[in-house]
Structure 1
Amino acid sequence: MSVDGWNTVLVLGGIRSGKSEFAESLVTDAPVVRYLATAAEGDPEDTEWASRLAAHRARRPGSWSTEETAADPRRLADVLASAQPNETLLVDDLGGWVTVLLDPDHQPADDVATIAELAEAIRACPARVVLVSPEVGLSLVPTTPLGRAFTDALGAANRAVADACDAVVLVVAGQPAWLKPAVPPATAAGAVPAAPATRTAPVGSGPVGVDSADVEPTPEVQLPDVLTHTPPAAPNQEPGNPWAAPTMALPMVATGLVIQPGMELPMPDEYTGPQAVDRLATLDVPGAGLGVLDRVVGFAAATQGTSTPVAWNSVRVLLLHGDHAGGASAGTVAGESARRAGQARAGQGALARLAAESGASLQVVDTPGAAPMEDQPALTLEQVESALRYGWRLAEQAADAGVQLLVLAACGAGTEAAAAAVLAATAGAEPPAVLGRVITHSGEIDDAAWMIRCAAVRDALHRTRRSPRGAKDVLAELGGGDVAVATGVLLGATARRMPVLLDGPVGLAAGMVSRDLAGQARHWCLLADDGGHPAVRLAADVLGLTPLLDLRLDLGEGANALVALPLLRSVLSLAAALPVHPSLAGGGEPDQGAEEPEETEPEETEPEDTEPEDTEPEDTEPDYAEPEPAGPGPATTGADEQPASGWRAG
């Protein structure tokens, strides 16, 4: 159960927090586990306590062995000291151990020394150890001496054990928050990846950057590791820069990143977006403004956390290459997607040329190929987990390199049918309604291939009609490797507060799946153009993404977004550089409104009347009462006989 180089882990949590279940999940990969039960049996008449112990026993696999240590508190340290390097131990929990330690039957005893012995045994233990303990530091001080003695002893034990362990995790409401180390070792400076590091070079200064596609997946579809160490500080990481906001990463356990439904990831700033759009109305422009492209400014402001966002200078395109077997790829030429991916690696083709024009880097990513979804699951659940973590690491790598915007692209065969199947499973769409027509390379419409694709999606949905519809289940049964990696990219980018420009069915299908894992991900996505694709239209409508343009380009996923990128950059640059209109600078509106009272009647009546009571209501009434209408109403065509009062509208 080694946790990325960590050998001992302390799992803290409150009552019914899920700490025991989480600790057990950390050792599921171990063939044999020695379960060290520390709690005493308790009062035989306490049926509730007995049912708790029975529930714990029922969860343990038959291959686990259980050892009771309640008879002697020092036995736990002896077991740890005698453990072998090939063993895995699960201690549940230290609260029961401290209860036995404080039992009068074991007194007098040096509790401090016993706790120190346990910490030293953990520190020297060659086996893999997971310890569970209640967290009492967040509760009130008990009112009884025995309660205070228990919290004091358990608090001291938790501190000593946490210092001895390689990793510490706090489980709250079933959600793990890793306390030690704060950043997983894979992202620490100087970490050495297990597989060759990826290479990404800026386009325009030479060949297009090459990704982990250099390492071909094994027959078991094992994805290569991604270089995630922290590089030298990028320009956008300087203090005060909008992109220098704190980021977050998921904990690393035996199987890698913990990606699970209901994750709480960051949201864009809810105030700076509207503020930036309101500011556009004050800019010195001769016309009405930016039109619908003001949404770009609002989106950039919210994701950058400032009302004056700047244009995205560092952009990376992630081109996901993965084919879908079976009827999903009907009508495609064998090897065509591999040819497109090879073009991109060589700096050729539409996507690479547009990336070069935009000064963006291009990263080609090989994803696991999907099995025929009409006959069997596209991926195994293990492959889905690996693909999700791999996509997350791709986003982390981009963020560490100073990338400010990701463009998600795909070039696999059968991706449209896979996206249609995901939409049918997550949004209840009818496959024929979201499957676009099949266009051959000669420009002809292939309706026979289209019908085969529809039949493949239909059969896949029928095969999985009784299957769960969770995010990972949909990816395993229908989505495939490219959609799974794209989903991981969206989640990782959300965690690192990095916006993503979507383009095509794969990215939108990933957005649909990501809702169950982290609903915040869609708020970091921007859709430049739907390209007239029915699946993209429906998914965008469900996700609340309104396309900025309606160019109906069909240059391939990613290329359509790069066509729109210079326009989006120009809008942001213009909004950031233009000054405020001179009439509004320095509080122009209040000055104009202040001049109007000089032209009105009240100033002339002040010297005539000697009664101050008549003037007081005129001075105070606008502060709390609605003013009387200045004319008969909007239906009149005559000029008002009374002068206007108050601030000028507009």
Structure 2
Amino acid sequence: MSADGWSRILVLGGIRSGKSEFAESLVREASRVRYVATATTSPDDPEWVARIEAHRSRRPAGWATEEAGTDPGRLVELIRSAEPDETLLVDDLGGWVTVLLDPAHQPADDVATVAELGAAVRDCPARLVLVSPEVGLSLVPTTPLGRAFADALGTTNQTVADACDTVVLVIAGQPTRLKPGTPVATAAPRANVPAQPGADRDAGPAGRPDPVVPDAGTPASAWTGVLGAVPEVLRPTVTAPEPSGAEPGTAWTAPTMALPMVATGLVIQPGMELPMPDEQTGPAALDRLATLDLPGSGLGTLARVVEFAAATQRTATPAPWRSVRVLLLHGDHAGGAAAGTVPGESARRVAQARTGSGPLAQLAAEAGATLQVVEAPAAAPMEHGPALPVDDVEAALRYGWRLAEAAVDEGVELLVLAACGAGTDAAAAAVLAANAGAEPAAVLGRVVTPDGQVDDTAWMARCAAVRDALQRTRRSPRDAKDVLAELGGGDIAVATGILLGATARRTPVLLDGPVGVAAGLVSRDLAGQARHWCLLPDHGDHPAVRLAADVLDLQPLLDLRLGLGEGAAALAALPLLRAGLTLAGGLPARPGSDGPAGAETAARPEETAEPEETAELEEAAEPEETTGSEESEREPVESDDSEFAEPRPAGPGPTAVPDKTAAPDDPAAPDDGTGADTASAATSARGA
């Protein structure tokens, strides 16, 4: 496989679907391309000859052309003999199957020939793009030859698709990813799109939208390695990160294939229609909790975790999150926002995370989570001008979206947002002031030096920077992208993109710290659904987090007050959250419970009794009429509430009430449920 991402791609599509143009765009910037043509020409069909000439005319002059239209074995030989530094474009397998079925080549073992092609594709050392018609969506051909072609081509497509890293279906010029490639350290992330208005939000496995690759406006170079420059994924259980191959701090500027085009531009814009968690499974999970066989009173605060997981997983029995990824955002803010920070401190912390040391990496290792370092663009002093250019805000949003999609495509079930950068508290305070009208001094935490001393001078400098930035932008728009450009900076912009991408892929996110909640506030203006996929395990005793949580209606679960950096409290709480989900999903129903789970284990009496027995029970349950003399012998009843019945006592005692049907001299007579005064009734009985 090529070291910088994909190696083998199968592009499927119908007639005039744009599959060939898309395949050509994938390799247009490659330095050495061999075009393998499988079609045969005939002077008796001038229209077909014109089609082939159109294909030839749009190929770049530097491409070499190989003809493989007369011998099915020729294509296998060309693929096997390809060199690692070249790219092969095969267009298309439909022509190859036509030659394979030609009577001139029969009798031949078609299955064996197709198997040879699949093996050659799997072992090809070069980059390989294969184009093939998709005939499985059409009607069954009416002729034997047509059916033979459809069967052979379908078998070929399945064999080649199994050997390829990626399979793309092109419909009406729009490519849709069907098969993600095997992830490597720099593999191109898989893509997806949010549900558009009126779209089916329930499409795709497990309720997630179907994976879709890209819009027509995205540069094709994103497929050929530029998009593959993703920061390394560090598994904290190992001592060294996997190699990246990308220059630190530049990957965020790479174009993304994740965003489709709409009528007016890219889909990252205010008012996006993204999925919402399921409205029914959350309450159903809470109802089920009441029926579980628990020795105590229940899960307490963890019940909210069960409700959240049930809604996001769309099941009343949610499973604990097993595959978790921590996205550590590293982006410094210049100017007064970073007052009081030690130069190079954030870089040192990031270096610790890359090597598996430091509190965040240790907690990630303990939780079995992967840790991915994300280099965000540095922010300029907000008090003097925009923190980030508008174009860089767009790129950072797309980059964050792509990071979330890449994680989900690799099987991640839960994302944890973490941040490590100078001046992040001040940037989050500025975003909070702009979005929620907060007073900067009230949401800026105290500045503590490495030796544990409180630096009030640095705190005042940060307050002044935020105040000046808000004064500078007092007449500026307060749209999401404007806030990110003027105040938020690169790390909050990338975090916002992560929240939006995770929402589009129906993946929950744990927020922990000012950067995460600031991104939640900004994402609210782009897609109000994003906050419903966020969970706040702890507030960290940070004033900005407390206020933002109130604005976003995210009630913190715990009160750990950990001061270990953003993201650490979420990882520390993760085992507890998993424990709640384990109990909620693994415990059986309480014997005899009548709830959703108990209905399966215990039948109600009225469902098991015979009709005659039921009638007798109902008749026995009806109270008998009392005579006037009996009523006169009883003490007056203070309340005439017929719906109230005093509970029967557990044993004899001063609270025992004699039964009206028992003999007056029977001291152990049961309660009649009328609520008569016990002492008076007992005295009357003894006097009689």
Change (3 A) 1:384 1:283: same
Q: Residue in 2 aligned with 1:405?
A: 414
Q: Residue in 2 aligned with 1:203?
A: 235
Q: Residue in 2 aligned with 1:590?
A: 604
Change (3 A) 1:174 1:280: closer
The 3-state SS of whatever aligns with 1:519 is coil
Q: Residue in 2 aligned with 1:522?
A: 531
Cα separation, 2, equivalents of 1:510 and 1:495: 16
Change (3 A) 1:84 1:276: closer
Q: How many equivalent pairs are there?
A: 443
Letter in 2 for 1:338: A
Deviations 1:514-573 (A, max 9, x none): 011000000000000001000000000000101110011111011111101111111111
Q: Does 1:641 align with 2:641?
A: no
Superposition deviation, residue 583 in structure 1: 2.4
Superposition deviation, residue 183 in structure 1: 3.2
Q: Does 1:184 align with 2:248?
A: no
Q: Does 1:419 align with 2:428?
A: yes
Letter in 1 for 2:239: P
Question: Which of 356, 374, 378 is the aligned partner of 1:365?
Answer: 374
Instruction: Check conservation: 2:327, 2:374, Cα contact below 8 A.
Output: yes
Instruction: Check conservation: 1:208, 1:361, Cα contact below 8 A.
Output: no
Superposition deviation, residue 632 in structure 1: 8.8
Q: How does 1:77-476 map to 2 (within 5 A)?
A: 183-184=213-214, 191-194=223-226, 196-198=228-230, 200-201=232-233, 203-207=235-239, 209=241, 214-217=246-249, 223-225=252-254, 250-251=259-260, 258-476=267-485
Cα separation, 2, equivalents of 1:570 and 1:366: 33
Instruction: Check conservation: 2:235, 2:369, Cα contact below 8 A.
Output: yes
Instruction: Check conservation: 1:210, 1:363, Cα contact below 8 A.
Output: no
Superposition deviation, residue 271 in structure 1: 0.5
Superposition deviation, residue 598 in structure 1: 8.1
Change (3 A) 1:629 1:164: closer
Cα separation, 1, equivalents of 2:333 and 2:440: 17
Q: How does 1:478-517 map to 2 (within 5 A)?
A: 478-517=487-526
Instruction: Check conservation: 2:430, 2:466, Cα contact below 8 A.
Output: yes
For structure 1, the residue ranges without an aligned partner over 5 or more in a row are: 1-5, 7-82, 86-161, 229-248, 609-626, 645-650
Instruction: Check conservation: 1:391, 1:488, Cα contact below 8 A.
Output: yes
Superposition deviation, residue 306 in structure 1: 0.3
Q: Does 1:602 align with 2:619?
A: yes
Superposition deviation, residue 184 in structure 1: 1.5
Q: How does 1:555-570 map to 2 (within 5 A)?
A: 555-570=564-579
Letter in 2 for 1:467: S
Cα separation, 2, equivalents of 1:499 and 1:187: 30
Q: Residue in 2 aligned with 1:542?
A: 551
Q: Does 1:551 align with 2:560?
A: yes
Change (3 A) 1:289 1:193: same
Letter in 2 for 1:492: G
Deviations 1:444-498 (A, max 9, x none): 1000000000000000000000000000000000000000000000000000000
Letter in 2 for 1:300: A
Change (3 A) 1:205 1:445: closer
Superposition deviation, residue 197 in structure 1: 3.4
The 3-state SS of whatever aligns with 2:252 is coil
**Which TM-score applies when normalising by structure 1?**
0.61
Cα separation, 2, equivalents of 1:535 and 1:288: 34
Superposition deviation, residue 588 in structure 1: 4.1
Superposition deviation, residue 590 in structure 1: 2.8
Deviations 1:47-76 (A, max 9, x none): xxxxxxxxxxxxxxxxxxxxxxxxxxxxxx
**Which TM-score applies when normalising by structure 2?**
0.58
Change (3 A) 1:441 1:600: same
Instruction: Check conservation: 2:231, 2:244, Cα contact below 8 A.
Output: yes
Letter in 2 for 1:319: L
Change (3 A) 1:226 1:354: farther
Cα separation, 1, equivalents of 2:482 and 2:373: 26
Instruction: Check conservation: 2:339, 2:462, Cα contact below 8 A.
Output: yes
Deviations 1:323-381 (A, max 9, x none): 00000000000000011011101111111111111111000011010000001000111
Superposition deviation, residue 591 in structure 1: 2.6
Change (3 A) 1:285 1:457: same
Change (3 A) 1:440 1:329: same
Cα separation, 1, equivalents of 2:198 and 2:390: 21
RMSD (Å) for aligned C-alpha atoms: 4.2
Superposition deviation, residue 225 in structure 1: 3.2
Instruction: Check conservation: 1:197, 1:227, Cα contact below 8 A.
Output: no
Cα separation, 1, equivalents of 2:646 and 2:623: 27
The 3-state SS of whatever aligns with 1:284 is coil
For structure 2, the residue ranges without an aligned partner over 5 or more in a row are: 1-10, 12-56, 60-169, 177-192, 202-209, 626-640, 649-654, 658-670, 676-688
Cα separation, 2, equivalents of 1:448 and 1:517: 36
Cα separation, 2, equivalents of 1:535 and 1:298: 26
Change (3 A) 1:542 1:304: same
Change (3 A) 1:642 1:418: same
Cα separation, 1, equivalents of 2:414 and 2:451: 35
Superposition deviation, residue 217 in structure 1: 3.5
Cα separation, 1, equivalents of 2:617 and 2:424: 71
Change (3 A) 1:559 1:495: same
Deviations 1:8-31 (A, max 9, x none): xxxxxxxxxxxxxxxxxxxxxxxx
Instruction: Check conservation: 2:256, 2:399, Cα contact below 8 A.
Output: no
Change (3 A) 1:203 1:604: closer
Change (3 A) 1:603 1:554: same
Deviations 1:420-463 (A, max 9, x none): 00000000000010001001100010000000000000000000
The 3-state SS of whatever aligns with 2:529 is helix
The 3-state SS of whatever aligns with 2:224 is coil
